[in-house]
A and B are shown apart, each in its own frame.
Chain A
Amino acid sequence: DAGVTQSPTHLIKTRGQHVTLRCSPISGHKSVSWYQQVLGQGPQFIFQYYEKEERGRGNFPDRFSARQFPNYSSELNVNALLLGDSALYLCASSSILTSGSYNEQFFGPGTRLTVL
């Protein structure tokens, strides 16, 4: 079975531009979460979607938005890019929504975004 896939793998943009990142969850998984990982730090939660609805939002500005499609794939959009948006953007999928001791999230390889 394929794992979580993300596209593109690398992306270079300039300040002020817009970017769309894509994620396909593991087959059968209905929950998708997005994380930002700045170099040298742990991932930071941005959004969670379940059954096409936003179920959680981290402390990120409104320039960040996301959506989930009927096939459970997801897009993360970032407008008006800043230099500080340069990071590895990770997508994770899980089969259920609620928190729990054995609720494992499976991460994709990430999209490396560089803003110049």
Chain B
Amino acid sequence: TQLLEQSPQFLSIQEGENLTVYCNSSSVFSSLQWYRQEPGEGPVLLVTVVTGGEVKKLKRLTFQFGDARKDSSLHITAAQPGDTGLYLCAVSPQTGANNLFFGTGTRLTVIP
């Protein structure tokens, strides 16, 4: 079983549409991070959420951490082709170390 399940696995939408991707787990986490990875590059951190129920906004991206700190969502408003990429959620499951455990990822394609 996956520690972090992301859905949907693939998403293809037209430019200007809105979308939401999800990251779910049965475990509780002290914090959760969202990354975006573009082809040929490594993941880049978008946001870290730490408080249950927290909502953070980054331009057209809205991130929410579940009240129980077991799940998170990423909502994109008016998607643009530049939003195309692999969206990954990640947590640090080990204390005393900062290695990351990544979810399965959502591959988003925004069609012009």
Tell me the A residues contacting B by CB distance below 8 Å. Answer: 4, 31, 33, 35, 40-45, 48, 55-56, 58, 90, 92, 94, 96-110
Contact = CB atoms under 8 A, between A and B. Distances in A.
Contacts of B98: 31, 33, 48, 94, 96-100, 103, 105
Contact of B99 (A33, A102, A104, A109): A33
Contact of B97 (A35, A40, A97, A109): A97
Contacts, number: 79
Nearest to B35: A107
B52 interface: no
- List the 8 closest A-B pairs by CB distance, nearest first: A107-B42, A42-B102, A101-B31, A99-B92, A101-B50, A56-B97, A45-B99, A99-B98
B87 to A, nearest CB: 10
Where chain B touches its partner, the secondary structure class is: loop
A42 B105 contact: yes
B112 interface: no
Contacts of A90: 42-43
B1 interface: no
Contacts of B95: 99
